[in-house]
């Protein structure tokens, strides 16, 4: 009996101890729960961060380009084209006067700045023009002195008014003759008294052609050299006239260059019938450096507009601008603090471009090439918050 009593007491003691331990664990877990909930809330708050704090200069250095959405939508067509120099990117330097070439300062392929010497010319006509300018200057000084003297004599009552007025008219004519001589000398390239004039490049660029030779004689207007600014290039495409009506100004396209790369460009002009017949000319401005002038290129252009797009065509962005973050498609939009991942609803994909049905107005600036780097940076930030 005594033994049963001892066993019962031991069981009761063990049960009481177990109950106390469980209660203490329950209290600790309840007190720790708010802390875990706060940490979870903080994690969710950081996980919702969709801003990549990156300056535009740093983004460009990392290989992220900033573009503006274009307009388009519909079917895509393949356009053959070529790289040409833009307007005012090619300069032909002619001889302003007839003369003998004394020196050639450059050769084909030379890089020159605006105003750089191309050739030195000695001309009898230039010497005559400079002499005429000097004579006209002397005539102005003499006529002005005579007019001033007659003015004083008229005030003193020595000469008649018509004499003073005649000398004043002669001074005016002398000044007009001097201005004409000045203009003639400027047109000759500002030669010296010996008739030597230096012909200079009107633009910065590369000398693509040189016709002047030392000792050679150039007639007035003869070609001396051609200079091209290779950085000011544009694309010219031939498009069917019917399709050209669906191509919109400002539309973004992707051009296939000879090395197999894709280069973004923006439609800058559409001229139906400019090439004659049923062909239209489409011009596009490159967004970055492109192949040399004369290179053969092609481009796929989206034409028409989808049923969901408003007037002006659907919003079109480079396909690489659309990234997937946490299972949703986003586009990184430029803001004051960096690049923000903005959810979008993409539509059709063609010619390296993606149609955006919702999420953008078209006025934003977005990350194009290299947008995946922003996605990776955003992922790093979220991983850091999880840690």
Task: Read off the pLDDT of residues 284-317 as tens digits, 9 standing for 90 and up.
Answer: 998 877 888 889 999 877 765 443 444 456 788 8
- 211: CATH: 2.40.50.100
- Do the domain assignments include residue 3? no
State the pLDDT at residue 184.
Answer: 92
Q: How far apart are CA 7 and CA 188, in angstroms?
A: 128
Over the chain, what is the mean pLDDT?
81
| H and E: helices and strands count for the chain | 6, 24
CA distances (Å), origin 380, targets 159, 308, 344, 369, 375: 96, 36, 22, 20, 9
Most confident residue range from 1-10, 123-132, 263-272: 123-132
Q: What is the CATH number of the domain that holds 52?
A: 2.40.420.20
Same domain, 336 and 379: yes
Among the residue ranges 72-86, 167-181, 198-212, 327-341, the one predicted with the least confidence is 72-86
* Same domain (yes/no): 291, 344: no
Domain co-membership, 383 together with 290: no
Same domain, 134 and 152: yes
Q: What CATH number does residue 165 fall under?
A: 1.10.287
- Are 313 and 385 contained in the same domain? yes
* Segment 53-69, tens digit of pLDDT: 988 888 889 899 888 88
Residues 277-288 pLDDT 10s = 678 899 999 887
Indicate whether 298 and 325 sit together in one domain. no
| 29 within some domain | no
- Give residue 357's pLDDT band: very low, low, confident or very high (50, 70, 90): confident
Let me know whether 247 and 177 are in one domain: no
Percent of the chain topping pLDDT 70: 80
Domain end call among 270, 303, 336: 303
Across the range 185-200, mean pLDDT stands at: 92
Q: Are residues 330 and 381 both part of a single domain?
A: yes
Query: What is the predicted pLDDT for the residue at 23?
Result: 36
- C-alpha 238/C-alpha 272 separation (Å) is 10
Residue 283 belongs to domain with CATH number: 2.40.30.170
Residues 312 and 376 grouped into a single domain: yes
Domain assignment present for 24: no
Q: What is the pLDDT of residue 72?
A: 61
Domain boundary among 140, 175, 194: 194
Confidence of residue 387 (pLDDT cuts 50, 70, 90): low
Does residue 172 belong to any structural domain of this protein?
Answer: yes
18 part of a folded domain: no
pLDDT at 28: 41
Q: Is residue 326 part of a domain?
A: yes
Residue 330 lies in a domain: yes
Domain boundary among 251, 270, 303: 303
Residue 38 lies in a domain: no
Of all residues in the chain, the percent with pLDDT exceeding 90 is 46
pLDDT at residue 342, as a whole number: 93
- If one compares 340 and 70, the residue with the highest pLDDT of the two is 340
What domain count does the chain have?
4
Output DSSP code: residue 370. T
238 and 224 together in one domain: no
Tokens in use for 190?
């500002």
pLDDT at 97 over 60: yes
- pLDDT score at 292: 84
Question: What residue numbers bound the domain in which 56 lies?
Answer: 47-74+308-387
Residues 82 and 294: beta-carbon distance below 8 Å: yes
Calculated CA dihedral for residues 361, 367, 368, 370, nearest 10 degrees: -160
Decide if pLDDT at 30 tops 60: no
Same domain, 98 and 221: yes
Q: Select the highest-mean-pLDDT range: 79-88, 169-178, 246-255.
A: 169-178
| Same domain as 113, residue 224 | yes
Question: What's the predicted TM-score (pTM) here?
Answer: 0.55
pLDDT at 242: 76
Residue 119 has pLDDT above 70, yes or no: yes
**CB 60 within 8 Å of CB 347:** no
């Amino acid at each position: 009996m005594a033994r049963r009593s001892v066993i019962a007491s031991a069981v009761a003691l063990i049960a009481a101890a177990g109950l106390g331990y469980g209660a203490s664990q329950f209290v600790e877990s309840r007190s720790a729960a708010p802390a875990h909930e706060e940490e979870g809330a903080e994690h969710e708050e950081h996980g919702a961060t969709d801003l990549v704090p990156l300056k535009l200069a740093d983004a460009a250095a990392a290989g992220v380009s900033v573009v503006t959405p274009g307009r388009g939508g519909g079917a895509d067509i393949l356009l053959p084209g070529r790289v040409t120099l833009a307007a005012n990117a090619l300069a032909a330097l002619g001889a302003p006067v007839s003369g003998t070439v004394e020196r050639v300062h450059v050769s084909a392929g030379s890089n020159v700045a605006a105003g750089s010497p191309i050739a030195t010319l000695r001309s009898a006509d230039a010497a005559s023009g400079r002499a005429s300018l000097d004579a006209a200057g002397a005539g102005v000084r003499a006529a002005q002195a005579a007019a001033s003297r007659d003015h004083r004599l008229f005030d003193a009552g020595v000469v008649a008014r018509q004499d003073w007025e005649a000398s004043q008219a002669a001074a005016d004519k002398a000044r007009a003759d001097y201005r004409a001589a000045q203009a003639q000398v400027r047109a000759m390239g500002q030669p010296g008294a010996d008739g030597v004039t230096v012909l200079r490049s009107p633009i910065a660029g590369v000398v693509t052609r040189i016709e002047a030779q030392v000792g050679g004689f150039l007639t007035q207007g003869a070609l001396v050299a051609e200079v091209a600014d290779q950085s000011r290039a544009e694309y010219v495409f031939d498009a069917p006239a019917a399709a050209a009506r669906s191509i919109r100004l400002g539309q973004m396209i992707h051009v296939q260059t000879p090395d197999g790369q894709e280069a973004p460009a923006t439609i800058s002009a559409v001229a139906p019938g400019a090439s004659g017949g049923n062909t239209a000319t489409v011009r596009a401005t490159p967004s970055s450096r492109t192949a040399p002038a004369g290179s053969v290129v092609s481009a796929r252009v989206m034409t028409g507009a989808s049923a969901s797009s408003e007037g002006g065509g659907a919003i079109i962005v480079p396909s690489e601008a659309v990234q997937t973050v946490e299972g949703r498609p986003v586009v990184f939009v430029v803001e004051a603090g960096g690049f923000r991942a903005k959810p979008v609803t993409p539509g059709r994909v063609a010619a390296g471009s993606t149609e955006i049905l919702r999420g953008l107005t078209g006025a934003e600036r977005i990350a194009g090439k290299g947008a995946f780097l922003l996605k990776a940076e955003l992922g790093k930030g979220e991983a850091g918050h999880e840690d």
